[in-house]
Structure 1
Amino acid sequence: MLQIQTRSRLVNTLGYLGITLLVALPLAILMVRAGHWQQGLLLYALTCAASAALLLLGLLLLLLPRYRPWRGICCPGTCC
């Protein structure tokens, strides 16, 4: 029997948040270059902090056994 695995909603949300942060970073740089220093630097700082938090959360999810099928690693004695 073919077993289809769908991605977790949390995994999808982390991916979408990562894409949003990749778009926000150049926007922050453009804001600083346009002369909106305070708003641009604030957006840059928030983007960097959110990226660091996203990276830590992603690494934490890699360690949890619930998300093992998305890593592609199977342990002996488990059903993958």
Structure 2
Amino acid sequence: MVSSLRQRRAIIYDRQQATPALLYVFDRVEGTGKLVVYIDGTLKVRNELNGKREKVNTNLIRTGKILQDLSALRNKKVYDLLWGRLD
């Protein structure tokens, strides 16, 4: 996963999500892959010191898959291409 993020083909900002999200697009042997990283997401975790549940802001990878078609990622009403290319 880390190598896919480092060797990305494009980084896209997804404006349709309630939580800001970056899509990392990368090439794989199987085809073009996509990882979705949610920025400043909130998780509820248990504090190990006092046992209480608390909210923690974090960036997390929620989904990933191999794409058959990149045309949806070219929709400028939904996505902003921040870096790279989708050709």
TM-score (norm. length: structure 1) = 0.30
Structure (1 or 2) with the greater strand fraction? 2
Whichever of the two has the greater Rg, that structure is: 1
TM-score (norm. length: structure 2) = 0.29
Structure (1 or 2) with the greater helix fraction? 1
